[in-house]
Structure 1
Amino acid sequence: MSKQTRIGKTDLYVNPIGLGTNAIGGHNLFPNLSEDTGRDVLRTALEEEINFWDTAFIYGPERSEELIGEILKETGKRENVVLATKGAHKFIDGKVVLDNSPAFLKNAVDSSLKRLQTEYIDLFYIHFPDEGTPKDEAVGALKELKDAGKIKAIGVSNFTFEQLKEANKDGYVDVLQSEYNLFKREAELDLLPYTAENNISFIPYFPLASGLLGGKYNQESKFDDGRAQSPLFQGQEFVSNLQKVEEVRTIARRKNADVADVVLAWYLTRHSIDVLIPGAKKPEQVTRNLKALDVELTMDEIAEISAIFA
């Protein structure tokens, strides 16, 4: 059995390397996705005992949840997987609107249960905060669903520090999911200290900074997707970022590992980061992500990586 870690104060135990599934049926996020390949990614995750799967209503929309439900039914492995999904988006006249109202969240959970073909969701997140709903009121609705057995743990995603404190007024928040990587470390100012202090698990998304921390790009690399608009991938900043990645590669070579392995291993040394959810578009990437668990960083190496990206 693979190594298992506990997610914060929940009763959920998972492989520290999970699976982000926005490329499984996320046709609105990625062009030319093959659903058959997506199904193979999920089957490979099961074979490799990667048992924490992160999805959302808006991936597809709906299609990622449907494909996961299909594979878990096909394999009969629902009990082997800790399922996390998210809700907050709805469509009005073709436009996406955010809704955190208790009535909406309860309906969102019921709809996700159907698509996932399951009787419970292990972790349900409010995907984005809306402008009107008091955050503790929204979380209170999820607490009712938790008491009813429909969900096992409560998460919030993309909440600011102030919104997180309001959401956790009654101590019900189990998990925060937020953007965090070596290039984007603002969470260290307030979110990470707060989650550590309150035994809330912090799950970073974009841990490899859209592939930049994977160590596969050079100055000749060209991008025709959202990365082309990101400052990380533009001009002199891109050149500087590549130099930082090369410094990590020096450490990776000492470890007989790849850059991505070392980067993911560094996150797992952060207090309150229990599990990571790197994505995968191909089955071999699922297996690849697991290599991070073989990397043991010394205190000096942890400090060295931190200094490179100070």
Structure 2
Amino acid sequence: MNFEQLEYIKEVIDTKSMSIAAENLHVSQSAISQSISLLEKEFGVQIFKRSRLGTIPTEEGKTIIKKIMEILKKADELREEVHSLTSTYNGELHVATSPSIFMAFLPKALARFREDYPQINVMIKEMESQEIMKEVEQKKADLGLITLFNNGEEMLPKDITLQSFRHQGRFNVIVPNHSELALNQELQLMDVKEYPFVLYDRSFYNNLIEDFEKHYGPLNIIFRTTNSEVVKKTVSEGLGIALMTSLMIKDDPYLESGRILAIPLSYPFNFNLSVGGIYYKNRNQYGLIKKFLEYVEI
């Protein structure tokens, strides 16, 4: 048994096809087939069978493949650990981030990182999640920091890795402290849709609002702005209410001073928002990406 055989099996599992696996790994199909056959002979167990659905694992193969995936994961972790011990970090790191993650995590993380690695020039670009995915996919950014509905990994382009953070967010209705809505422990958007709304004008929010309005009718939107501080200032003055994720108001002075209150939003927006970093493993800055993510996670 060797790592080449294990990598072949992983690629066959991912593609459900020996021919596609061979193409992706730039080897011949017969090389993969022979390599797996040798491993099956060594184990005395058939790992794969062919069917109309492609190359799929046998029942015995599923057990073996689970262990193989664990071995490959540990091997990746070992490589990362060795790289972190032997590498001298240098150069630039290009990071694309959504506004909510920037406000919630990056200032403190970036300050700590620059203190420990002053030789690294971290370039930050703020943009929306769909743009971030394209930026990483086109390799214009080394790392993308995004917010996804629940896990959302299925939305990612092929070969891009998602490292989920421990932190999760959810939607809140932001109201002035003197509003009668402030007495509620939870709110449904359909119950407050007649109130004047200040909309944070980002596609992440716009898509949700458009979907809501198709089912429940229009919100009373008095104006839109891409500046989150304007949203909170307007709400604090009692001119309207707003929708914001808990990530956007993390350690927020308006909230901490009591000028605005955040009330959890229930159905249909009572789902978790996942936060994570996306990147290609084969980038030259892979070790630096992983090191920077450690600081974001703290």
Shorter-chain TM-score: what band? Answer: under 0.3
The structure that has the greater radius of gyration is 2
TM-score (norm 1): 0.22
Higher relative contact order, structure no. (Cα contacts within 8 Å, ≥ 6 residues apart): 2
What TM-score results when the alignment is normalised by the length of structure 2? 0.23
More strand by share: 2
